[in-house]
Amino acid sequence: MTSGWNDTTPIYLQLKDRVIGMMLDGVLKAGDALPSVRQVAAEYQLNPITVSRAYQELVDDQLVEKRRGIGMYVTEGASEKLLASERERFLREEWPALLERIRRLGLNLDQLMRSTPSANGGAA
């Protein structure tokens, strides 16, 4: 009832994505502590196992490290690692779909460049 989870992906993955989103947006930086499993469970009204699983995924991806007895911290280099993997994912998943749509709409490179603000000193 709290925070709009979707029904298509397991919640622990959605929670993981939220944390990743916060890392990409710079809300969570290297060395920052993650809130405790208990806090997150209470805040989002989730089973603690769900939260632990999301955290474990982040540990497995080496984005977060467990410091014994104190908690979870964002690793050094987490954002670089994320950027690299997000770029790779974009090129693999989103770009082909985008390209397909561009083709279907019959847009050419010239039109696209003209509509890109930062390219060639702004949009025409």
Work out which of 4, 8, 118, 124 binds other proteins, going by CB under 8 A. Answer: 8
Q: Do residues 58 and 16 make contact, with C-beta atoms less than 8 angstroms apart?
A: yes
Work out which of 24, 41, 82, 102 binds other proteins, going by CB under 8 A. Answer: 41
Q: Do residues 72 and 19 make contact, with C-beta atoms less than 8 angstroms apart?
A: no
Work out which of 31, 39, 84, 119 binds other proteins, going by CB under 8 A. Answer: 39
Q: Which residues 64-123 are close enough to bind other proteins by CB under 8 A?
A: none
Q: Do residues 74 and 32 make contact, with C-beta atoms less than 8 angstroms apart?
A: yes
Segment interacting with other proteins (CB under 8 A) among 4-12, 54-62, 76-84, 103-111: 4-12
Partners of 33 in beta bridges: 73
Q: Number of residues interacting with other proteins: please give it, by CB under 8 A.
A: 20
* CB 53, min distance to other proteins, A: 10
* CB 13, min distance to other proteins, A: 11
- Give the residue among 19, 20, 16, 6 at the shortest CA–CA distance from 81: 20
**Residue (52 or 81) nearer to other proteins, CB:** 52
Does 13 interact with other proteins (rule: CB under 8 A)? no
Rounded Cα distance between 26 and 12, Å, is: 21
The pair of structure tokens assigned to 95 is 């770009």
The whole-angstrom distance between residue 57's C-alpha and the CA centroid of its chain comes to 13
Interaction site with other proteins (CB under 8 A):
1-2, 5-8, 10-11, 38-39, 41-50
